[in-house]
DNA sequence: TCTGGGGTCCTAGGACCC
DNA sequence: TCTGGGGTCCTAGGACCC
């Protein structure tokens, strides 16, 4: 019989902060989103204080101060590196691993000879030993059930490992909102016809699920009943889209500032594309007016423009030109813009060198070399060491806040932990 | 004052074609 | 007066995920 395990890091970002700062142990810790806007990770102590996920920071500032909660800005360099260490450890102990997100992996246990429970406990121990990150392990016959098992492991079992059978009595009191694939809308729709628990949902008619929630709903039901519809995914060969978008620290009214912002985002997009060795055929540039304080008569918030590029590219210079031109056309005076972004689609592999009648190969080669040199310098000395003039010199007043970022302990020599 | 970012998949509906 | 039907492709938008 084939089994799936879901290994999920507990309070991942908060645990990463703790791994290098023992003073944080047993104290409430939270991590904020970009722009220090919302709370996106909480240690158990912080959860116990009633601090909810996704809450704006300013709403709970006094509560945080009152309980001496330790606050951090997101430090993605640190989290990404810690994630890689956790995944390496898992791959050393299981042949079939699907890295599902930065803090989760599915394992397929068909060849596991030991007891499943014991195997889970060993995994937990070795990951903690190698990385300092605590994980929970859920095991079941389908991925959807393994996700649920992991939820139970976190909430209800001291050992952090749970083996779940489709007929487990705990499912008759477990809310459907905990099921992987059921969000707010589906929870409400199911609630309207009296389905609130997982056990209740397991009784639903397959034909009704198919009709009401499409193939996704049907698969979800089958998985809950123990019939596997999702296998381990092979490693992604490349994303379909790549996006860079950011909120501004304050509303922007001026075209020049918007163009500067989109140039910075286009530069980041170029870096991403080049890192994945991809080139984009299509770009979507979008602007958001502030939805919380909309100053427009028509109330519109979203403005976007699609572009087909004559040549697939990952060249920053080209991306900036297209993006800035799109912003000029989208811009309307008097609108308070809060966010902008750039999405690359139609991605092709490699394609560093593209020529056409107007830009000769020699010219392209020179561009490519210049960009390559720029990437190298920025990797070594930090982003924004070399940049395009249209991106401004970084002294703007719109870019994000990052007040409490911890050192990048594992990826920057100058920030390595010092032990006295 | 202050409200995240980056993805995927599916479906409905329009355009177009024969 | 009577005014087809079925297929494909594309896009926008909704739902979900972490």
Reported as a pLDDT band with limits 50, 70 and 90, residue A356 is low
Q: Where are the beta strands (DSSP E) in A183-276?
A: 242-252
Q: Same domain for A11 and A152?
A: yes
Integer Rg of chain A from CA: 24
**Which nt is closest to the CA of A150, judged by C1'?**
C18
Q: Same domain for A157 and A17?
A: yes
Q: Could you tell me if A224 and A202 are in contact, meaning their C-beta atoms sit under 8 angstroms apart?
A: yes
Q: How big is the CA angle at A162 (ends A81 and A52), to the nearest 5 degrees? A: 60
Reported as a pLDDT band with limits 50, 70 and 90, residue A86 is very high
The reply to whether A409 falls in a domain is: no
**Which nt is closest to the CA of A9, judged by C1'?**
C18
CA-to-CA distance for A66 and A46, rounded, in angstroms?
Answer: 12
pLDDT computed for residue A402 by the predictor: 82
Reported as a pLDDT band with limits 50, 70 and 90, residue A196 is very high
Cβ within 7 Å of strand C: which of A 119-158? 147
Q: Same domain for A82 and A99?
A: yes
In the structure, how far is the CA atom of residue A167 from the C1' atom of nucleotide B13, in angstroms?
A: 41
Q: Same domain for A299 and A202?
A: no
Instruction: Give Cα separations from A246 to A68, A80, A290 (angstroms).
Output: 29, 19, 13
Reported as a pLDDT band with limits 50, 70 and 90, residue A17 is very high
Report the CATH number that the domain containing residue A137 is assigned in CATH.
3.30.70.270
The reply to whether A408 falls in a domain is: no
The pLDDT tens digits of the residues spanning A88-102 come to 999 999 999 999 999
In the structure, how far is the CA atom of residue A307 from the C1' atom of nucleotide C7, in angstroms?
A: 28
Percent of chain A with pLDDT over 90: 62
CA-to-CA distance for A405 and A420, rounded, in angstroms?
Answer: 22
Burial of A358 (0-12, 13-18, 19+ CB in 10 A): exposed
The reply to whether A418 falls in a domain is: no
Mean pLDDT of A363-374: 80
The reply to whether A95 falls in a domain is: yes
Q: Same domain for A286 and A311?
A: yes
CA-to-CA distance for A292 and A59, rounded, in angstroms?
Answer: 15
CA-to-CA distance for A236 and A221, rounded, in angstroms?
Answer: 26
Q: Same domain for A152 and A173?
A: no
Q: Could you tell me if A232 and A238 are in contact, meaning their C-beta atoms sit under 8 angstroms apart?
A: no
Report the CATH number that the domain containing residue A171 is assigned in CATH.
1.10.150.20
- Is pLDDT at A87 greater than 70 in this prediction? yes
Reported as a pLDDT band with limits 50, 70 and 90, residue A307 is confident
Query: Given A161, A193, A209, which residue is the final one in a domain?
Result: A161
Residue-range definition of the domain harbouring residue A356: 242-391
In the structure, how far is the CA atom of residue A51 from the C1' atom of nucleotide B14, in angstroms?
A: 46
- Whether A102 sits with its Cβ under 7 A from any strand C atom: the answer reads yes
**Which nt is closest to the CA of A147, judged by C1'?**
C17
Mean pLDDT of A300-319: 87
**Average pLDDT over chain A, rounded to an integer:** 89
Pairing relationship of beta strands A70-73 and A29-32 according to DSSP bridges: parallel
The reply to whether A399 falls in a domain is: no
The reply to whether A396 falls in a domain is: no
Total structural domains within chain A: 3
CA-to-CA distance for A159 and A153, rounded, in angstroms?
Answer: 8
pLDDT computed for residue A415 by the predictor: 85
Pick the closest to residue A202 from A179, A225, A182 (CA basis): A225
In the structure, how far is the CA atom of residue A49 from the C1' atom of nucleotide B4, in angstroms?
A: 22
**Which nt is closest to the CA of A293, judged by C1'?**
B3
CA-to-CA distance for A182 and A178, rounded, in angstroms?
Answer: 7
Q: Same domain for A157 and A253?
A: no
Report the CATH number that the domain containing residue A331 is assigned in CATH.
3.30.1490.100
In the structure, how far is the CA atom of residue A34 from the C1' atom of nucleotide B3, in angstroms?
A: 11
Instruction: Give Cα separations from A315 to A159, A280, A328 (angstroms).
Output: 51, 9, 20
Q: What is the dihedral of CA A307, A310, A313, A319, to 10 degrees?
A: -50
| DSSP state, residue A335 | -
Q: Same domain for A192 and A145?
A: no
The reply to whether A397 falls in a domain is: no
- Whether A54 sits with its Cβ under 7 A from any strand C atom: the answer reads no
The pLDDT tens digits of the residues spanning A320-355 come to 999 999 999 889 888 899 999 999 988 887 655 555
**Which nt is closest to the CA of A306, judged by C1'?**
C11
> Protein footprint on strand B: which nucleotides are under 7 Å from a CB?
1-12
- Whether A182 sits with its Cβ under 7 A from any strand C atom: the answer reads yes
Q: Same domain for A266 and A290?
A: yes
- What values do phi and psi take at A308, rounded to 5? -100, 125
| DSSP state, residue A189 | H
Query: Given A108, A127, A161, which residue is the final one in a domain?
Result: A161
Mean pLDDT of A116-131: 95
Buried-state track A17-28, b at ≥16 Cβ within 10 A, e below 16: bbbbbeebeeeb
> A39 in helix, strand or coil?
strand
Q: Looking at per-residue confidence, does A158 or A225 come out higher?
A: A225
The reply to whether A145 falls in a domain is: yes
Reported as a pLDDT band with limits 50, 70 and 90, residue A235 is confident
Contact residues for strand B with beta carbon within 7 Å: A 33-35, 37-38, 40, 54, 56, 58, 214-216, 236, 239-247, 249-251, 272, 292-293, 338-339, 341, 400
> Protein footprint on strand C: which nucleotides are under 7 Å from a CB?
11-12, 14-18
Q: Same domain for A381 and A278?
A: yes
Query: Given A161, A178, A200, which residue is the final one in a domain?
Result: A161
- What values do phi and psi take at A71, rounded to 5? -110, 135
- Whether A184 sits with its Cβ under 7 A from any strand C atom: the answer reads yes
Mean pLDDT of A4-12: 97
Alpha-helix runs per DSSP H in A246-337:
255-275, 316-330
- Is pLDDT at A393 greater than 60 in this prediction? yes
> A55 in helix, strand or coil?
coil
């Amino acid at each position: 019989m084939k089994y799936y395990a879901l290994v999920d890091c507990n309070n991942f970002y908060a645990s990463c902060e703790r791994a290098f700062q023992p003073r944080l142990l047993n104290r409430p810790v939270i991590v904020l989103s970009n722009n220090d806007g919302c709370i996106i990770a909480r240690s158990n102590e912080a959860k116990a204080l009633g601090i909810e996920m996704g809450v704006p920071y300013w709403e709970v500032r006094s509560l945080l101060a009152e309980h001496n909660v330790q606050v951090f800005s997101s430090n993605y360099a640190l989290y990404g590196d810690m994630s890689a260490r956790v995944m390496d450890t898992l791959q050393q102990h299981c042949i079939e691993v699907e890295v599902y997100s930065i803090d989760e992996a599915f394992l397929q246990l068909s060849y596991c000879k030991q007891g499943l429970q014991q195997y889970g406990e060993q995994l937990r121990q070795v990951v903690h030993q190698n990385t300092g990150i605590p994980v929970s392990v859920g095991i079941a016959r389908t991925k959807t059930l393994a996700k649920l098992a992991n939820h139970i492991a976190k909430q209800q079992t001291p050992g952090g490992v749970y083996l779940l059978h489709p007929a487990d009595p705990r499912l008759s009191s477990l809310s459907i909102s905990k099921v992987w694939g059921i969000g707010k809308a589906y929870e409400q729709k199911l609630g309207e016809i009296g389905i609130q628990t997982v056990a209740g949902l397991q009784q639903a008619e397959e034909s009704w699920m198919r009709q009401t929630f499409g193939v996704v709903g049907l698969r979800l039901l089958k998985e809950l009943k123990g019939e596997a519809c999702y296998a381990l995914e092979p490693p992604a060969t490349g994303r379909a889209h790549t996006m860079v978008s950011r909120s501004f620290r304050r509303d922007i009214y001026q075209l020049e500032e918007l163009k500067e912002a989109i140039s910075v985002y286009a530069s980041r997009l170029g870096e991403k594309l080049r890192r994945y060795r991809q080139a984009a055929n299509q770009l979507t540039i979008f602007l958001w007016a502030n939805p919380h304080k909309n100053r427009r008569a028509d109330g519109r918030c979203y403005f976007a423009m699609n572009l087909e590029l004559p040549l697939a590219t990952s060249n920053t210079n080209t991306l900036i030109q297209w993006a800035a031109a799109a912003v000029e056309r989208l811009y309307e005076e008097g609108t308070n813009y809060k966010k902008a972004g750039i999405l690359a689609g139609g991605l092709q592999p490699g394609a560093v060198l593209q020529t056409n009648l107007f830009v000769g190969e020699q010219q392209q080669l020179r561009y490519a070399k210049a960009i390559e040199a720029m990437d190298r310098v920025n990797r070594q000395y930090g982003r924004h060491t070399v940049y395009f003039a249209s991106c401004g010199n970084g002294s703007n007043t719109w870019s994000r806040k990052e007040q409490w970022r911890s050192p990048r302990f594992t990826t920057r020599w100058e920030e390595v932990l010092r032990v006295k």
